[in-house]
Structure 1
Amino acid sequence: MFSIGELSKRIKVKVTPILYYEEMGLLAEAERTSGNQRRYETTGLERLSFIRHARDLCFSI
């Protein structure tokens, strides 16, 4: 599982767009730890990578 910071570093996307994609429903809502930290599965990492690639190709949201 990945924290939002780890996800951000791996995909090279700032945290704000990740939260935005989650709010829009493009990215599944993350599970929360007992400390209320977001934890993303590998599928979240793959989906964010796909979204980033699509944005690099100038596709709109």
Structure 2
Amino acid sequence: MKDNGFSDKLKGAVSKAKGEVKDQVGNASDDPMLQAEGKLDKMKGEVQKEVGKLKDRTND
């Protein structure tokens, strides 16, 4: 059974949420490394979401 990109979109949403938390905590605690890690996770999540969308389009 194909998931049509659903799992990629879900992973993307989780990565973005995790990244947002790290970014905010890094900002609040003045930890630039944690903040950078959060921004990276957010970008990773965005890419995963787009991969899921592409899979949806190719499976139509």
Q: What's the TM-score, normalizing by structure 2?
A: 0.32
The structure with the largest helix share of the pair is: 2
RCO higher in 1 or 2 (8 Å CA, sep ≥ 6)? Answer: 2
Q: So what's the TM-score if we normalise by structure 1?
A: 0.32
| CA radius of gyration, larger in | 2
